[in-house]
Amino acid sequence: MKLFSNYANKLFSNVSAYSLFPDKPTIPFYPEVEYCPDCHTKLTVQKTTEKKTIVTMDIGGFWAKETILECPMDKSVFFSKKLRKLVPTHCTFGFDVIEYVGRALFLHSLNNLEIMKELAISHNISISEREISYLGQKFITYLALSHQESNDKFRNSMAKRGGYIFHVDGTCEGDSPHLFCGIDGLSEIVLGAIKIPSEKKEELIPFFRRIKKQYGNPIALVHDMGVAILKAIAVVFPNIADFICHFHFIRDIGKDLLTEDYQIIIKRLKKFEVRSSLRRRASYLKSKIGKDEKTIKKFRKALDTGAFTSDCLHSMPSAATYLLIKWAFESSCQSQGYGFPFDRIHLDFYLRLKQIHQLFGNISDIHLCNNGKENGPFLRVWKLLDEVMRDKELTNAVASIEAKVKVFDKLRKALRIALPEGKKGLNDDGDEACMKTIEKEVIKFRAWIQNDEEKKKSYAKMIKQIDKYWSKLFADPLVVNTSDGSVVISPQRTNNILERFFRKIKRHGRKKSGTASLNKMLKAILADTPLVRNLENNEYMSIILNKCETLAERFSQIDDRLVRKQLKEAKENQEKLSAEVKKIIRLPDLPNKISTLFMGEGKY
């Protein structure tokens, strides 16, 4: 059996493109007709092209020689349809290579070098990294045009479900453009995307109008509290059910409520250099305890039994101090993955330090051994923390934020989302409680604030925010008509579908580039790049393939003149520095040269 397996592997390795065609073959191509379909006149040869290199996944590189026919009566020209199905006009790489590169780049997160090596080894295709980038842009452009040509089918598919729920959001990094996307919350299909300099009403209105023209009015919209989004929606989608994402809503309230105190806590802890001081102390104590785990194991045994053995008393203060410092740094484990203001790691760190300070203060007078000097590790850390705990600005900020956290967490529970005990982190869509039930709980919360004069004054801004967005937070389920009759649809309470979508895009970008920053990637990608996420959706693929077997076959149906036009427009729209600007900004000591120009002999 093993012998047969080895023989089979050898056999299949010998049928690679390189083994079959060590030298590029010449393949002739002819039109599929001999007579003009209009006048039935026999076609004549107009010309036979020079041999041209074509590269496909099946064969690798080969010479294509095409015979072009012409009708002698009306001068109509006829080309080989088979060749046109293999490769775009005036191009070298076939549609199947474009599909392969696109999937490798955008679905499998391979970088250009990895794709280049894979194509060379497995498919006998020689290609440059630059060409791979260009084929990636072609892939996106062909996909976008295929998407546009399928608009009617998308609308029909949506109509069967009763319409679409339009989730919108944007992302950026550093000074990159905003990548702004719209997704149907029911099918989770990306409907469209744009790149805009900033999230402004004037930039969003054309995008919303394009979506409306392509798919009609949505049955509802879901988004964050961005002012530009709200204004643009009011212009393009008036009288459409409009919902604020509950997660974004409560996150914004929490930031408004807690940020000022939280920043003070961060600032004061940084001033005292608590973290660096404790790390140095922990490093010293670890060296004192020793690298072996015996002392730590003895300490663990003492914790279990409730008493120390006589042979380890001398090392226990160092071990306890070391372990408590490490415990303080583990405060981040209290976080639930929601981020601030739900997770407050610096406050949690302070509260753990406070516990350590109180503990060391209580036991500092107890002699664990005959020699009271054994308390030294406790006392040194206690003195370090005592200065921190006596800081009035810090203690006042902690007291203030703790009071506010109780109110904030009460609202989280009322809204049934991002709960303090929650484990879903940023994937939290809220529980499935009835919207009316949630609304009643928020009404109770509001009354609890309003009926207390002190709270009413302290949390007036929060109540104002709740009242402002009330109609966009709570609404009855939507009754829509479908091909199967009326159905009731409850829109998702969050816009996390897009948050997850953007996180996935960024993970793919970081995996491909190997860098944490995505600023460069967001500047370089085409606006329609998010459409690649749809390729993982079976419904989308069924619609867009238009009865074709592969994307390569579908792309061959697209007018390649449109592709070249869109690629040209995308290139012109990219913000690039001119050659002269690059030369100037790369000059050494440029500021001094400009200073000399304006203030020295060259002064105007």
Q: Splitting the chain (604 residues) into consecutive groups of 10 residues, what average pLDDT does each group show? A: 40 47 81 90 88 89 90 90 91 94 91 92 90 93 95 92 90 81 91 90 95 94 91 95 90 95 96 94 82 67 66 67 87 83 94 90 56 69 92 97 96 88 67 82 95 94 94 81 72 76 72 60 78 93 94 94 87 63 68 66 47
- How many whole angstroms separate alpha carbon 251 and alpha carbon 258? 10
The answer to whether 504 touches 533, Cβ cutoff 8 Å, is yes
Residue 366's pLDDT is: 47
The answer to whether 508 touches 109, Cβ cutoff 8 Å, is yes
- How many whole angstroms separate alpha carbon 425 and alpha carbon 416? 14
Tally DSSP H helices, then E strands, for the chain.
27, 12
Residue 369's pLDDT is: 42
- How many whole angstroms separate alpha carbon 104 and alpha carbon 136? 9
Helix (H, G, I), strand (E, B) or coil at 430: coil
Measured CA to CA in angstroms, residue 122 lies from 16, 97, 186, 350, 552 at distances of 8, 13, 40, 57, 19
- How many whole angstroms separate alpha carbon 571 and alpha carbon 515? 24
Tell me the per-residue pLDDT of 393-407, one tens digit each, with 9 for 90 and over: 999 999 999 999 999
- What CATH number labels 155-245+495-542? 3.30.420.10
CA–CA–CA angle 231, 236, 241 (5° rounding) = 80
SS3 of 317-375: the string is HHHHHHHHHHHHHHHHHHCCCCCCCCCCHHHHHHHHHHHHHHHHHHHCCCCCCCCHHHH
Tell me what percent of the residues of the chain surpass a pLDDT of 70. Answer: 82
Query: Which position has the token pair 């076939």?
Result: 94
Query: Which position has the token pair 């060379």?
Result: 120
SS3 of 446-503: the string is HHHHHCCHHHHHHCHHHHHHHHHCHHHHCCCCEEEEECCEEEEECCCCCCHHHHHHHH
Q: How many CB atoms lie under 10 A from the CB of residue 436?
A: 11
Q: Angle between the 246-271 and 345-363 helix axes, to the nearest 10 degrees?
A: 40
* Token reading at 341: 């203001």
Going from N- to C-terminal start, the domains of the chain cover 155-245+495-542, 273-390
The answer to whether 577 touches 228, Cβ cutoff 8 Å, is no
Contacts 24+ apart (CB under 8 A), 481-487: 481/162, 482/159, 482/160, 482/161, 482/162, 483/159, 483/160, 484/160, 487/162
The answer to whether 347 touches 401, Cβ cutoff 8 Å, is yes
Residue 571's pLDDT is: 75
Helix (H, G, I), strand (E, B) or coil at 553: helix
Residue 94's pLDDT is: 94
Residue 504's pLDDT is: 76
**Residue partners of 228: CB distance under 8 A and separation at least 6:** 199, 200, 201, 203, 204
* Token reading at 96: 């199947």
- Which of 338, 493, 502 has the alpha carbon at shortest distance from 429? 493
* Token reading at 544: 């867009």
Q: How many CB atoms lie under 10 A from the CB of residue 591?
A: 8
| C-alpha torsion 104→105→108→109, nearest 10 | 150
- How many whole angstroms separate alpha carbon 385 and alpha carbon 213? 64
- Which of 201, 194, 203, 238 has the alpha carbon at shortest distance from 217? 238
Tell me the per-residue pLDDT of 293-350, one tens digit each, with 9 for 90 and over: 666 776 676 667 766 655 555 567 777 888 888 889 888 887 877 889 999 999 999 9
Element (H, E) at 264: helix 246-271
The verdict on pTM exceeding 0.75 is: yes
- How many whole angstroms separate alpha carbon 313 and alpha carbon 328? 23
Q: Angle between the 560-573 and 129-149 helix axes, to the nearest 10 degrees?
A: 120
Residue 173's pLDDT is: 75
> How long, in residues, is the chain?
604
